[in-house]
Chain A
């Protein structure tokens, strides 16, 4: 069976659809026996759905750099 550390790693990547089917199968098997990872997986999924619901926006690094520069010059 995979370790809890490995399970958390797969679980995190699964939130971004970057875990393979085999990995997800291993994770599912792991959480049948591991209450802690089962709870962690549940919370992690919830965070993903909250992030989707929140529809946050973010300024790009370039835009932020421009703002930083302006503030530095005037500050």
Chain B
């Protein structure tokens, strides 16, 4: 029962920003996150023939991205592993506790529960943005997330300011409803 299908040509429009934000939450480096998103799409194309249609497209792509994140940490840990141990044994020589465990790189180590909640909020918001009509999500994203000036957006998209504000207004109204449904009630 293959209900779900892959549409690689709409991956970027539908999921790029979601995957990008997910990756930033895991690796906290914008350039690395960009690379991980590109790699995810390429790996997705390669294994598209193995897609059975059991998972939703987004879930399937996130599963690929998760593996890419793990690979990334595996690589970076094997590179600097030695240096870390040496440093740790100096500063923790007197420590009888499980210093090694405490020192092992933990991607969430520097995140309080607040930042984890904000990260989840961000992803919930991104899902809502991705559901907007394409033009609305584009204008909202440029204005709100990229912080581009009204004038510049109007030039780039060839619209006038009142068009822009109508689209932003509609986008925001839909987003409020979407967040009320998916974020505040969950």
A residues near B (Cβ < 8 Å) are: 8-9, 12-13, 15-16, 18, 43-44, 46-47, 50-51, 53-61, 63-64, 67-68, 70-72, 74-75
Instruction: Enumerate chain B residues within 8 angstroms of A58, measured Cβ to Cβ.
Output: 17, 20, 141, 145-146
Verify B16–A67 contact, CB threshold 8 A: yes
Verify B169–A54 contact, CB threshold 8 A: no
Instruction: Enumerate chain B residues within 8 angstroms of A12, measured Cβ to Cβ.
Output: 165, 168-169, 172
Verify B41–A54 contact, CB threshold 8 A: no
Could you tell me the distance in whole angstroms from the C-beta of B16 to the nearest C-beta in chain A? 5
Verify B8–A55 contact, CB threshold 8 A: no
Instruction: Enumerate chain A residues within 8 angstroms of B24, measured Cβ to Cβ.
Output: 57
Instruction: Enumerate chain A residues within 8 angstroms of B179, measured Cβ to Cβ.
Output: 47, 50
Q: Identify A71's interface contact among B9, B121, B145, B168, CB under 8 A.
A: B9
Q: Identify A51's interface contact among B9, B20, B144, CB under 8 A.
A: B144
Could you tell me the distance in whole angstroms from the C-beta of B61 to the nearest C-beta in chain A? 12
With contact pairs A8-B169, A74-B45 given, residues A50 and B37 touching in the complex (Cβ less than 8 Å): no
Verify B146–A60 contact, CB threshold 8 A: yes
Cα A18 to Cα B156 with chains together (Å): 19
Using an 8 Å CB-CB cutoff, how does the interface string of B19-34 with A read, 1 for contact, 0 for none?
0110010000010011
Q: Identify B122's interface contact among A43, A56, A59, A74, CB under 8 A.
A: A56
Q: Identify A9's interface contact among B118, B150, B169, CB under 8 A.
A: B169
For residue B138, which residue of chain A has the nearest CB? Answer: A61
Verify B41–A70 contact, CB threshold 8 A: yes
Verify B45–A75 contact, CB threshold 8 A: yes
Instruction: Enumerate chain A residues within 8 angstroms of B17, measured Cβ to Cβ.
Output: 56-59
